[in-house]
Structure 1
Amino acid sequence: MMQENGLPSEDNPYVFNGDFVDRGKNSIEILMILCVSLLVYPRDMHLNRGNHEDFLMNLRYGFTKEVLNKYKLHGRKILRLLEEVYTWLPIGTIVDNEILVIHGGISESTDLNLLHHLERNKMKSVLMPPVPLNEDLASDFQKTKAGASAMPGKSNTSLPEQLSKHEWEQVVDILWSDPRGQRGCYPNKSRGGGCYFGPDITSKILSKYHLKMLIRSHECKPEGYEVCHDGKVITVFSASNYYEEGSNRGAYIKLGPGMKPRFVQYQVTELTCPKPLYQRVHAIESSAIRILKERIISRKSDLVCAFELYDCSKSGKLSLGQWAFSMESILGLNLPWRSLRSHLVNTDKDGNIDYMSSFQDIHIQKPVKEAQSTLIETVYRYRSDLQIIYNVIDSDHSGLISMEEFRTMWQLFCTHYSVHIDDSQVDELANRMDLNKDGNIDFNEFLKAFYVVHKFDHLNKSDTNLAGQK
């Protein structure tokens, strides 16, 4: 997903909707990628708890065994740590006060205000009902889903650390429930917990909290997603080949202007992921370098001025310290520039930086020769503003802009920012963007016409294309 859709950022935030583990033999690696991403992009990465972020579920469905096999010495310590991590994961996310994102579903008694103030870290496992509770129900529920006892040496949850019965039931509904076409709310007997909720329940809860849509996961769907309840409930399931090779497609949702969902489907096969780990790591690293170089080219004029202030002899060279200070002060990024220099610039035998080499790897896929430098810097400096203007012109949110509308967008943009680009250059650019020659272009096509090439990328041509030169 991140390779195709980009890394998390302010303009590209992610919500991952639970069940990060128990989905295959690489569950711990997936979980670590998500946790590291949360640390690196804390404002742009959101992880909802699913019903498998539960140590008792892990005992039955394989994650516990995977961790103990991979970490012979520290496996139990890691599992105890993850058990604690699970309890702190949010059980839902609300996007722009319009869309509720939860793993399972809702019930007629769902109380979002209560859930918002819930001390969720008190719930070690949904499969351990608080005491006192109907003991027969508790026993049946645990036998149905756990199939095993807690790990040896684990301390029992004491009563003061537990949620109330009502709070526990609220969380069970959120993590375990499923939508159905029948009206009303009735027990989810197939799962042993949660409920089935009908379209009337969806309308009631969304209306009560002034929401427009519910996005949930929890169920495998042949196409990777399914829309029900008059478009108000969307199920998205991202694991393709869930039952066996070719059994289902995976999907993720992109929320565009007006919170309109767009579905991206995929089918992972041996042909799409044959590369060893070092090549996959390299692809992620290269993607991060490309994003950084986009930031660099967007401030090219300012950076050149800063470099030239230090270069009194007009040699085109700076010391490593001068170059690093200029990069940090202009870009406002607190990065290890000294370590990154090998990825970004050329250095002579004395360790001096050829500072203009910071910009040498920027290429246009379909060059517009007369406006090449100006257009690149304009695109990367103002891409978010371009998208805003683009969406204003695209009033029906179809994602397509006619040639005339494209020219109008550039005229509006150039007037607003006092940037001069000739009409002929804009026309040439628009014609080159229209690859299928249907008279329309979309914003993604426009941005993809500009790409950054990493000069130290030694992958073969097919790998390089996969790494982001599309």
Structure 2
Amino acid sequence: MGCGSSVATETQVRRPETMKAAVLIQRWYRRYMARLEMRRRYTWNIFQSIEYAGEQEQLQLSTFFTYMLDNFTQLNGNGPLISQLLDPVVDPWLDRETCFNLISVPESYSGPRISFPLSVSDTNALLSAFKEHQTLHARYVLQLLYETKKLLKQMPNIVHLSTSYTKDITIDLHGRLDDLLLIFYKNGLPSAETPYVFNGDFVDRGKKSVEVVVLLFAYVLLYPDYMHLNRGNHEDHIMNLYGFTKEVMQKYRTHGREILQLFQEVFSLLPIATVIDGKVLIVHGGISDQTDLEFLSSIERNKIVDILWSDPKTQEGCSPNTFRGGGCYFGPDVTRRLLLQHGLQLLIRSHECKQEGYELCHDGRVITIFSASNYYEDGSNRGAYIKLGRELVPRFYQYQVSRTTRRLTLTQVRAAEGSALRALKEKLFAHRSELIAGFQQNEQNNTSVSVSEWAQVLESVLRLDLPWRTLRPHLARLAADGSVEYLSCFEDMGPGLPLPQVTPNLAKTLFRYRTNIEIIFNIIDKDHSLISIEEFRHTWRLFSAHLGADIDDGAIDDLARSIDFNKDGSIDFTEFLEAFRVVHKLDVKE
């Protein structure tokens, strides 16, 4: 008895100590996870803000192109040099029905060989080939695009579907090839039993955009009644000039121009909305207070409209989407009014990356679906798709193309955070002059400002809507009095190896507008071969004038001479880009 009592007493003593240790561990773990989540969220915000700022800059390029069209003429006075700059009209060569038959497929070609009309064996061959990283021959790409163009010309702006003849309709915005293959694996390949609606942005989501759209178009040709594609804002000539254009030209150097032009023509013919059972509206971006389905049914669908760009907001009303630079923000009242006007009950849209792959807002009347997992970095977000049956109750399916588990580790968060901070520091460096000017207006002790003033200057110049106070320890150092030493924002950054002929002011402009400059020269040099020195000089003068940049003609001439690799009055486009990347390279010390 005595021994038993002693053991019981000892256990009772241990139990409170064990419980206390468990509570301490639990508290530590919760704090650890809270800090991890905070870092994950501001990392997410950085990535998204920089992405939207890039989209806004690309949209603003259209203003420059209009200015360029008004001012850019051939030096011999024969008229506009790039009069069709904004209108990606297909070359007459592409309108010939037998154009693709003029291209031979050599015996040495080891990729998939397909025939038209397409069969299930053809789409299976494409799936297998793309899994093995094979590239489809240019002849087949052109023929597939030509057949898709013929089909899309017959389709309405708004496609109406019914669940009466199928169990479920699967809806998603598509991202990368890995995501598409995983969706097909989990949900089934497109067929009469498994119809799909893909909600735009098929390109600019990775290095396999060509493979993604080829697969989607192939299934549209195979099952035109069960495979449906809505147009996204990246299925637009201006928006995909950088990423998708570069990918096509790298994969198809011989016939890249023809393929790219035909892609743009097909993109412009994609339907802009889908309605299921007269109750569910599916569009890529969103709506505005001016959206009317009858009007959308009758407009030329090759014109960009609000529904490709708009985003929902929690506040009532409709206002310009200044964050993206296109479309609008629409509130719950705008959603209610449109749904009531057309007898709808739900709006499904995409356009925004969500950490869980989907999000509900406006009292559940608006659903955002985003299918590109790991969009910003590995582990940054899950992907998701929706299934709708006859009851029209959405069922969500989440996934992630990753070897890791759903819960992010500290290592993953650190990697994503480091990448995001490097991108943000590049943004600071690109706007160094404006930031320093803003800081100097508020400086207290030579090179320091208050934390509040530091955050205000960053937001007023960069307009990224970020938690600058939270990010301050990663971006700038505090002085002994608690003020921010603002020059420390740029201490761990420096330009790459500038060309001797490039003046500091020109180098700054090159770096800040590097993506836009590459896009502009992509357009001028349509064959990706040579551009004349005079074209280069004239374009640069127009661009600097349009920006209001203080760059004199002498600096531009020096730059042109420094990259005249051919010595015959022309510039090799590839060599120019290599030299250009050296100029705008940024070194960020870890």
Q: Shorter-chain TM-score: what band?
A: 0.3 to 0.5
Q: TM-score, with normalisation over the residues of structure 2?
A: 0.37
Structure with larger Rg = 2
Relative contact order, CA 8 A, sep 6+: which one is greater?
2
TM norm structure 1: 0.47
